[in-house]
């Protein structure tokens, strides 16, 4: 009997795919107002053109910041470069398992080379926090209490694992994806980097199920995605405001159904 062998996943060769993955990786930094350095952009260009392997790009950017602590404008630039490099790796590696440990691992991979005290990569936060949101007139979403993070994640992942998308119509499918994405984001299990981790995980999850994902959405509308998550999880009855998932629904309709909903950040402001 002829032995069936495994094929090793190699560095992506298609320049269009590489361009898209780098665009997404850079675009997702917009959720925190970050932009890659000129050096990182040049490295990605060399990778797209086949002049460097991904490993060479990864080693170059790590060495750049390890050896030259004062050669960049600020820590934001370093964060954008390091995280973008890791996002590219995750998007292109082909591996995926649906569980909260993968979600946790993605955070570790994205922030592993950054300030351990600030990011605590791959570990759940051990305190409660708030965050002033410009679209909420500097009010905050109520995030899950730190002592319930792991238990809540396990519950949400366990419930989602039992969902059968096969017989759902388009509206049901979008509503369910929105519900799951909104829930795990609201938990905000990490000290920093929750939106980027959630975005990468959801992309990988949807692709693993065979859905055709319009990746340009994350490239061009990362900030809208985050603000839509904020509105999906913000309620203030004293101000007459109830949580509203319609903006997140519009985003996922564009992402999965190739609709052309207008995604305008101004419309998300209360």
Q: What's the CATH number where 255 sits?
A: 1.10.3290.10
Q: Residue for token digits 């392997």?
A: 53
Phi, psi of 175 (to 5 degrees): -60, -40
Q: Read off the tokens for 203.
A: 């992309």
In whole angstroms, give the CA distance from residue 189 to residue 118: 14
171 and 201, same domain (yes or no): yes
Confidence label for 7 from pLDDT (cuts 50, 70 and 90): very low
Q: Quick one: CA dihedral 233, 227, 248, 24, positive or negative? A: negative
Residue 115, pLDDT score: 87
Are the CB atoms for 251 and 228 separated by under 8 Å?
A: yes
CA distance 46 to 61: 13
Q: Give the bridge partners for 139, in sequence order.
A: 133
Q: What are the pLDDT digits (tens) for 198-216?
A: 999 999 999 999 998 887 8
Give me the domain span that covers residue 131: 97-270
Q: Do 255 and 179 fall within a single domain? A: yes
Confidence of residue 6 (pLDDT cuts 50, 70, 90): very low
Query: What does the mean pLDDT of the chain come to?
Result: 92
| pLDDT tens digits along 9-57 | 457 889 999 999 999 999 999 888 899 999 999 999 999 999 999 999 9
What pLDDT does residue 218 have? 86
What domain count does the chain have?
A: 2
148 with 35, same domain: the answer is: no
User: 2 lies in a domain?
Assistant: no
Question: Are 146 and 261 contained in the same domain?
Answer: yes
Q: Which of 95, 123, 145 is where one domain is finished? A: 95
Distance separating alpha carbons of residues 4 and 190, to the nearest angstrom:
41
Query: Considering the domain boundaries, does residue 239 fall inside one?
Result: yes
End residue of a domain, out of 64, 95, 126: 95
The proportion of the chain whose per-residue pLDDT surpasses 90, expressed as a percent, equals 83
Q: Tell me the two tokens of residue 269.
A: 């402001």
Least confident of 165-174, 211-220, 223-232: 211-220
145 and 249 share one domain: yes
């Amino acid at each position: 009997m002829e032995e069936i062998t495994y094929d090793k996943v190699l560095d992506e060769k298609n320049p269009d795919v590489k361009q898209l993955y780098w665009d997404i990786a850079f675009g997702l930094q917009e959720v925190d107002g970050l932009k890659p350095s000129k050096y990182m952009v040049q490295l990605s260009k060399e990778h797209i053109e086949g002049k460097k392997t991904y490993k060479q790009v990864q080693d170059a950017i790590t060495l750049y910041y390890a050896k030259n602590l004062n050669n960049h404008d600020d820590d934001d630039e370093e964060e954008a470069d390091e995280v973008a490099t890791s996002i590219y790796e995750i998007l292109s590696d082909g591996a995926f398992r649906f569980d909260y440990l993968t979600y946790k691992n993605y955070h570790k991979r994205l922030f592993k080379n950054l300030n351990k005290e600030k990011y605590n990569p791959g570990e759940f936060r051990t305190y409660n926090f708030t965050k002033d949101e410009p679209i909420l007139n500097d009010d905050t979403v109520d995030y899950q209490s730190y002592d319930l993070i792991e238990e809540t994640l396990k519950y949400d992942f366990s419930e989602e694992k039992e969902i059968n998308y096969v017989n759902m119509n388009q509206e049901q499918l979008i509503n369910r994806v929105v519900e799951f994405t909104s829930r795990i984001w609201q938990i905000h299990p990490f000290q920093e980097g929750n939106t980027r981790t959630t975005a990468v995980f959801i992309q990988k999850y949807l692709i693993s199920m065979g859905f055709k994902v319009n990746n340009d959405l994350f490239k061009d509308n990362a900030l809208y995605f985050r603000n839509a998550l904020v509105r999906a999880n913000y309620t203030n009855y004293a101000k007459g405001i109830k949580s509203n998932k319609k903006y997140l629904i519009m985003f996922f309709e564009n992402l999965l159904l190739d609709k052309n909903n207008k995604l305008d950040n101004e419309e998300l402001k209360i």
